[in-house]
């Protein structure tokens, strides 16, 4: 099927903005031209792509399917254009995906070093959960992600470089002082309010799986999207927070680690990228900062 690239480009902007007028502004063409292009694409595909009403525009199921394929292609084209521009300008760009926790507690020193050594390279960091970062990589929105591992969303198409080991820990304040110097079973932990990350995280998957392996049903008291907030709530005694050990620092002096009878499995932070897509030179320079652990 021979379809002009410009028709897909117009479709992409309408589909991502859900607005013909916004798409026309981004494309610097008239709204009428946008509408005609969409109609032409629908005619060639013999499928309606949008449901139009006076108040809003939404994708049809066929439109959603097409967007899932067009969006990665558009991002690849944009990346190619950016790399060519970077080579001309003598600078470059690194596009990284990482969770707030990994970025704050692990990546910042490396980003500082890279910026000092390569001041002309633009650094773009997109913060998402480790699971959502895989989507960013798959769609071509970033070149490199840093994620907790295991991560069930990482497939064999990605190269994984293990760069840091860590353990997760349960922490509490003196409201739970009776637990100091004790090692609790997982069942005993469930007698207390558990604070943890929400279900859209690898950490939540990991902890729920751990309890299920012991035939225990984990029902947390609080689920949040930030480890920093979990620590804040633990500091005021709302419960026992489950966080990576690398989040614990000097500001956590009013918390103590709750011992467990069960040794918690070790996890890693990994860098992952798509082996089937060329990695920009600047990104490889940044990746080389990290030694792979065996």
Q: Which pLDDT tens digit goes with each residue over 126-165?
A: 999 999 999 999 988 999 999 999 999 998 889 999 999 9
Average pLDDT, the chain: 91
Cα separation, 90 vs 281, whole angstroms: 12
Percent of the chain with pLDDT over 70: 96
% of the chain beyond a pLDDT of 90: 80
Among 71-80, 203-212, 221-230, 283-292, the least confident range: 71-80
Our CA angle for 13, 18, 23, nearest 5°, is 35
Q: Which of 45, 52, 43 is nearest to 20 (CA)?
A: 52
The per-residue pLDDT for range 228-252, each reduced to its tens digit, is 999 999 999 999 999 999 999 876 7
Other CB atoms closer than 10 Å to residue 100's CB: what's the count?
Answer: 14
Structure token pair of residue 253: 């002096």
Q: How confident is the model at residue 178 (pLDDT cuts 50, 70, 90)?
A: very high
- What pLDDT, on a 0 to 100 scale, did the predictor assign at position 88? 42
Label residues 29-58 b or e (16+ Cβ within 10 Å = b).
beeeebbebbebbbeebeeebbeeeeeebe
Residues 6+ apart with CB under 8 A from 253: none
Q: Stretch 180-189: mean pLDDT, rounded? A: 96
Maximum Cα interatomic distance, the chain, rounded to a whole number of Å: 72
Distance CA 114, CA 83 (A): 18
The answer on pLDDT for 87 being more than 60 is no
The structure's pTM equals 0.70
| For residues 55-69, average pLDDT | 92
112 close to 229: Cβ distance less than 8 angstroms:
no
Sorting pLDDT into bands at 50, 70 and 90, what band is 82? confident
Three-class HEC string of 78-133: HHHHHHHHHHHHCCEEEEEEECHHHHHHHHHHHHHHHHHHCCCEEEEEEECCHHHH
Task: Walk across the sheet containing 121-127 and list its strands.
Answer: 121-127, 92-98, 144-149, 267-274, 158-166
**Which tokens hold the place of 116?**
């000092």
Angle at CA 197, nearest 5°, toward 137 and 127?
35
* CA–CA–CA angle 262, 267, 139 (5° rounding): 140
86, pLDDT greater than 90:
no
Residues β-bridged to residue 96: 125, 144
């Amino acid at each position: 099927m021979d379809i002009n690239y410009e028709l897909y480009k117009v479709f992409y902007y309408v589909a991502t903005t859900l607005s013909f007028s916004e798409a026309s502004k981004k494309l610097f063409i008239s709204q009428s031209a946008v509408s005609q292009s969409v109609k032409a694409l629908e005619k060639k595909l013999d499928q309606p792509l949008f449901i139009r009403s006076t108040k809003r525009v939404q994708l049809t199921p066929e439109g959603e399917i097409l967007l899932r394929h067009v969006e990665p292609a558009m991002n690849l084209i944009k990346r190619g254009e950016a790399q060519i521009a970077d080579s001309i300008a003598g600078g470059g760009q690194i596009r990284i995906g990482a969770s707030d926790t990994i970025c704050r507690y692990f990546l910042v020193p490396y980003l500082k070093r890279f910026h000092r050594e390569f001041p002309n390279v633009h650094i773009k960091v997109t913060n998402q959960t480790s699971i959502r970062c895989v989507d960013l990589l798959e769609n071509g929105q970033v070149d490199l992600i840093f994620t907790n591992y295991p991560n069930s969303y990482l497939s064999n198409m990605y190269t994984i470089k293990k760069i840091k080991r860590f353990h997760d820990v349960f922490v509490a304040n003196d409201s739970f002082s009776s637990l100091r110097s004790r090692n609790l079973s997982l069942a005993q932990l469930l007698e207390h309010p558990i604070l943890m990350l929400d279900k859209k995280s690898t950490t939540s998957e990991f902890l729920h799986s751990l309890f299920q392996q012991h035939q225990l049903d984990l029902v947390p008291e609080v689920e949040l999207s930030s480890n920093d907030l979990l620590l804040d709530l633990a500091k005021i005694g709302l419960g026992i927070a489950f966080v990576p050990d690398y989040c614990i620092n000097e500001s956590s002096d009013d918390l103590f680690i709750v011992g467990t009878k069960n040794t918690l499995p070790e996890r890693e932070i990994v860098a992952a990228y798509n082996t089937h897509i060329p990695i920009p030179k600047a990104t490889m320079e940044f990746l080389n900062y990290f030694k792979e652990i065996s």
